[in-house]
Amino acid sequence: AQSVAQPEDQVNVAEGNPLTVKCTYSVSGNPYLFWYVQYPNRGLQFLLKYITGDNLVKGSYGFEAEFNKSQTSFHLKKPSALVSDSALYFCAVRSPRNMLTFGGGTRLMVKP
């Protein structure tokens, strides 16, 4: 069975500083990994995905994620955080049945 772990319930960062939201995964076979963002009372918005190719994946709103096979990690990063980035972030892995398994979510708080 596949699983995703987001070890931090909340990440606090000052505006303008770099941010990292951590994600580790466990799958058999090649991982298809995703990051989504959720604003209050809204559905999920797709940020980026890793299927194959370069380990550094660039996505929406200046976010990027680094796939590390040896550490089974797919951390989300942004060089300079904005207050508007404050939201709930979910890492997910897609199964061969095309179902997404989500991590528990990490709340990102960016303070001015």
Query: For residue 89, is it left (φ>0), alpha (ψ between -120 and 50) or beta?
Result: beta
Strands 73-78 and 87-94: unpaired
Rg (CA), the chain: 13
| 93 close to 33: Cβ distance less than 8 angstroms | yes
Q: Is 43 in the site for another protein (CB under 8 A)?
A: yes
| Residue 100, beta-bridge partner list | 94
Q: Is residue 3 within the footprint of another protein (CB under 8 A)? A: no
Question: If binding is defined by CB under 8 A, does position 109 make contact with another protein?
Answer: no
Q: Which residue lies nearer to another protein by CB, 15 or 107? A: 107
Give the residue, chosen from 25, 36, 50, 67, that forms a contact with another protein under the rule CB under 8 A. 36
> What is the nearest approach in angstroms of another protein to the Cβ of residue 99?
6
Which parts of this chain interact with another protein (CB under 8 A)?
Answer: 34, 36, 41-46, 49, 90, 97-105
